[in-house]
Structure 1
Amino acid sequence: MRRELHAEWTKLRTVAAPGLLLLGAVVLTVAGSAVAAAVMTCPSAGCGQDAARISLFGVQIGQGLVALLAVVAVCGEYGTGMIRTSLTAMPRRIAGLAVRAGLLAGLTAAAGTVAVLGSVLAGRLLLPGNGFTPEHGHPPLSLLDGPTLRAAAGSVLYLVLVALISLGVATAVRDSAAATGAVLGLLYLFPLVVLMVRNQDLQLMLWRLSPMNAGLAVQATTSLPSMLIGPWAGLGVVAAWAAAALVGGGLLLRSRDA
C-alpha cells in the first residue's frame, strides 16, 4: 500500500485544483455560517431557534466544493489519459481506490475541522448581538457543551462522507460533468424533489433517504424528539450512500478497461 499511497499523494499535491477547492470549501463554509448568524434573530425567550445549527449553516454550501474535490481527483486523470499510466504503475485497482479514499477523507477532515471551528467561532461572536443571549435561553456556543460538540464533529464527518460519495460516483462515471451533476443533484436537488411528492408516507421515506436532509440532522441540538430522523441515524444514512458509491465504483473500476 505504501507505493499506492506515495503515488496518490504525489498526484494530489502536484496540481493546484485540490488545494484551491479545499481552501474554497473552508472560506465558503465559514462565510455562509457567518451570514446566517448575522441575519437570524432571537427577539425573545423561547424563540425556538437552534443556535448551533445556525452557526453550522455554511456546511450546506461548502459541501459542494468538497464534492468537486473528489470529482477533480478522479476525472482529471481520465480527461488527460493519465489513468492508463496510473493503472499500469499500480495494477492493484482496489488498493489504489482505497488509498485515494483514505487521502481524500483525511484532507477533507482537516479542512472540515478548520471550517467548522471557524463557523462555531463566527456563531459565538455574532449570535449574541441578535438576541441569542443567556437571558433568552442561549448561552454562548462552546464545544465544551455536549450537543454542540456532537453537531460540530458530526458536520466534519458529514463532509468526509460527502467526499467519499463523490469519489465513488466519479470512479463509476469517469466523466467530470456527469459526476458533478450526479453528486450535486443528489445533494441539492433530491431534497427539492422530495417536497413535490404528494404521498406523505413516500415523502417521509424519501426525506429520510436524502443524504443532505438525513446527514445534516446531526447538527440539531434542540427539539430532538420531534425530528424525522435522529442525529446519528441520519449520519448513518449518508455512510450507507458512501459505502454503496464506493463499492459500485470499485466494482466498475476493477471490471472494465481504462
Structure 2
Amino acid sequence: MRAALRAEWTKLWTVAGPCGLLLGLIVATIGLSAAAGAVVTCASAGCDPLGPGLVGVRLGQAPAAVLAVLMISGEYSSGLIRTTLTAVPRRPVVLAAKAVVLAGVVAVAATIAVLGSLAAAGTTARPGDGTTLRVTGGSILYLVLIALLGLGVAAVVRDSATSVGVILGLVYLFPVIAQVIGDPHWQRVLQRIAPMSAGLTVQATGDLGGLPLSPWAGLAVTAGWAAAALVAGGLVLHFRDA
C-alpha cells in the first residue's frame, strides 16, 4: 500500500492537469462566493449569514470531479494502467491508493476554497460557533465525497469524456429535474436522493425541520453515492481486463 500511495502521489504531481484543476477548484469556489457576497446583503433577522459564502461550492465541485475522473480514466486512454497494474498487481490496492491521495489533495484545496469563500463573501458568522463548524467542515467533506464519487464512476466507465458527463449529470441534473417536476412528493424524493441536493443540506443554518433531510443525513446520502461508486469501480477493476 505504501508503494502504491507513493506511486499515485508521484503520478499526480508530475503532470500539469491536476495542479490546474485544484487551482480551478479554489478559484471557482472563491470567485462565485465573492460575487454572491457582493450582491447579497444580510440585513434581515432571518437571513442566512453563511449562504453567500458557500454558494461557490456548487461550482467548485466540477473541477474536483474532473480531477477524480482523470486520475484513472487518463491512465486507460494512455495505456499507463497496464504499467500501474503490473507494478501493483492487487487491483483493489490501486483504487484505494488513488482514493486516499485524491481525498487528501481535494481536502486541502477544499479547505482553502471554503475558508477563502467565507472571507471573500464577508460573512458575519462566528468562527467557533457550532453551526459554522458544521457548515464549513461539511462543505469540505462534500467536495471530497464528490471527488470520490467521480473516481468510482471513472473506474466503471473508463472513458474520460463519458465519465465526466456521467458524474456532472449525477450532480447537476437531479436538481434541474426536481424543479421541472410539478409533483411536490417526487420533488422531495429527488431532493432526498440526489447527491448534490442531499449533500448540501449540511450547509443549512435555519429552518432545519423543513429540509428534506437533516444536514448530516443529507451528507450521508452523498457518502453513500461515493461508497457505492467506489465499490462498483473496485469490482470492475478487479474482474475486467485492463
Length-normalised TM-score, structure 1: 0.91
**Equivalent in the alignment of 2:105:** 107
2:15 aligns to what? 15
- Alignment correspondent of 1:177: 161
Give the aligned CA root-mean-square deviation in angstroms: 1.2
1:41, distance to aligned residue in structure 2 (A)? 2.4
Range 114-123 or range 171-180, more displaced: 114-123
Deviation string, structure 1 residues 223-250 (Cα, Å, up to 9, x no partner): 2122221110100000000000000000
In structure 2, the partner of 1:215 is 199
* Selected match of 1:143 from 127, 152, 155: 127
Correspondent of 1:247 among 193, 218, 231: 231
In structure 1, the residue matched to 2:62 is 64
Q: May I ask how many residue pairs the two structures share in their alignment?
A: 242
Which residue number corresponds to residue 5 of structure 2?
5
Q: 1:51 touches 1:123 (CA, 8 Å); kept in 2?
A: no
Deviations 1:130-178 (A, max 9, x none): xxxxxxxxxx223211111110100000000000000000010000010
Segments of 4+ in structure 1 off by > 6 A?
none
Distance in 1 (CA, whole Å) between partners of 2:186 and 2:29 is: 32
Which structure 2 residues correspond to residues 63-142 of structure 1 after superposition, within 5 A?
A: 63-124=61-122, 140-142=124-126
**Shift of the alpha carbon at 1:54?**
1.8
Counterpart position of 1:135: none
2:241 match: secondary structure:
coil
Alpha-carbon deviations, 1:54-109, whole Å to 9, x = none? Answer: 21110000000000000111111111111111111111100110011011000000
In the alignment, structure 2 segments of 5+ residues that lack a partner are: none
Partners in 2 of 1:146 and 1:122 — Cα distance? 21
Equivalent residue letter for 1:37: G
* Structure 1 unaligned residues grouped into runs of 5+: 128-139
C-alpha distance in 2 between matches for 1:157 and 1:49 = 24
Structure 2 counterpart SS, 1:240: helix
Whether the aligned pair in 2 keeps the contact of 1:123 and 1:141 (CA below 8 Å) is no
Determine the C-alpha separation between the residues in 1 that align with 2:99 and 2:51: 28
Tell me which of 215, 224, 245 is aligned to 2:208.
224
SS in 2 for 1:51: coil
Measure the CA separation in 2 of the matches of 1:228 and 1:10: 42
Q: Once the 2 structures are TM-superposed, how far is the Cα of residue 199 of structure 1 from its aligned partner?
A: 3.3
* Partners of 2:16 and 2:194 in 1: CA distance: 32
Taking every aligned residue pair, what percent have the same amino acid on both sides?
54
In the alignment, the residues of structure 1 paired with residue 178 and residue 102 of structure 2 have an alpha-carbon distance, to the nearest angstrom, of: 30
- Provide the C-alpha distance between the structure 2 equivalents of 1:121 and 1:149, rounded to a whole number of angstroms: 14
